[in-house]
Amino acid sequence: MPLSLNLVTPPAVEPVSLTTAKAHLRIDADNTAEDALITAFITAARQYAEKVTHRSFFNQTWQLTLDSFPLYPFWHGTIQASNPRTDWLARYGILRGQQILLPKPHLVSITGITYVDVTGTQQNLPSTSYYVDNTSEPARLVPAPGTTWPATQVYLPGSVQITYETGSYGDGVEVNTCPQTICMAILLLVAHWYEHREAASELPLKNIPLAVDALLDTVTFHFFSYENN
């Protein structure tokens, strides 16, 4: 299904502080001449690391846009499990087709879900109309028991919008469980960009073993990725 994913609100803080980055770069704390540049490097490094790992490190708000809700073949409501195991297995596959998977784990909360109904009117979907499994990665949305996803226009691109807050390691202020492997990868990127400020170099550069890629691979979410191209 065609979709897009857009950042609504960025995280309030970065995993690496300016003070830590300057210490890594061996810059005196009293030297503030390049603070703005180093801060930009930190943010860019975090954005790169999040894209590579398919995660949101600290709490931030995203909006997932779909062309419609997943199609459902049984309009009378969700199917309950029956005794015959073969029947349940067949129906389970259908039920899984109703899932909406939310990228960039871990889900913190659903801010709201809107859709355009068959009359062309934008509606808010009540939270009682769906069930959220935010213990899994990715988080999963399904219709509430006994219901289906609401009907939308036959084809209206971007008619379903899901806004949600996500963050794998807390808000970064009161809760911060960000692994040091991520912080080290960010510091390595900051140091590289600080020393090499051009797009190309005459020097034969090469990757350092156990450096950025290896560090980020320890926390990369490999299941899937939605990107807004």
What would the pLDDT profile of 140-151 be if each residue is shown by its tens digit? 999 998 888 998
Considering the domain architecture, whether residues 21 and 82 belong to the same structural domain is answered as: no
Considering the domain architecture, whether residues 137 and 211 belong to the same structural domain is answered as: no
**Distance of alpha carbon 163 from alpha carbon 54, whole angstroms:** 17
State which of 132, 147, 166 marks the end of a domain. 166
% of the chain beyond a pLDDT of 70: 80
**Distance of alpha carbon 27 from alpha carbon 38, whole angstroms:** 11
Q: Which stretch of DSSP H or E encloses residue 60?
A: strand 60-66
Q: How many domains does the chain have?
A: 2
Cα-based distances in Å from 103 to 67, 107, 164, 210: 16, 9, 10, 27
Q: Is residue 227 assigned to a domain?
A: no
Residue 28 burial (CB < 10 Å; 0-12/13-18/19+)?
A: exposed
State which of 148, 166, 184 marks the end of a domain. 166
Considering the domain architecture, whether residues 131 and 76 belong to the same structural domain is answered as: yes
Beginning with the edge strand found earlier in the chain, give each strand of the sheet holding 130-133 in spatial order. Answer: 100-102, 139-143, 130-133
DSSP conformational letter for 127: G
Strand, helix or coil at 90? helix
The structure's pTM equals: 0.83
Considering the domain architecture, whether residues 43 and 77 belong to the same structural domain is answered as: no
- Mean pLDDT of the chain, nearest integer: 85
Give the domain CATH number at 208.
Answer: 1.10.3230.30
Residue 138 preceded by cis peptide, ω within 30: yes
Considering the domain architecture, whether residues 76 and 134 belong to the same structural domain is answered as: yes
**Distance of alpha carbon 152 from alpha carbon 115, whole angstroms:** 7
Q: Is the pLDDT of residue 215 over 60?
A: yes
**Section 202-208 average pLDDT:** 66
Domain boundaries, position 43: 3-59+170-217
Which stretches of 25-147 are DSSP H helices?
A: 35-53, 85-96
The end-to-end CA distance of the chain, in Å, is 14
Per-residue confidence at 24, pLDDT binned at 50, 70, 90? very high
Considering the domain architecture, whether residues 110 and 160 belong to the same structural domain is answered as: yes
> Is 123 within 8 Å of 117 (Cβ atoms)?
yes
User: In the numeric block, which tokens belong to residue 129?
Assistant: 């109309």
Q: Is the pLDDT of residue 85 over 60?
A: no
Considering the domain architecture, whether residues 80 and 126 belong to the same structural domain is answered as: yes
Over its C-alpha atoms, the chain yields an Rg (Å, rounded) of 22
pLDDT for residue 136: 87
Q: Is the pLDDT of residue 87 over 90?
A: no
**Section 89-116 average pLDDT:** 82
% of the chain beyond a pLDDT of 90: 63
User: Considering only 92-101, 120-129, 130-139, which range has the smallest mean pLDDT?
Assistant: 92-101
Q: Is the pLDDT of residue 80 over 60?
A: no
> Is 167 within 8 Å of 106 (Cβ atoms)?
yes
User: How many CB atoms lie under 10 A from the CB of residue 58?
Assistant: 24
Length of the chain: 229
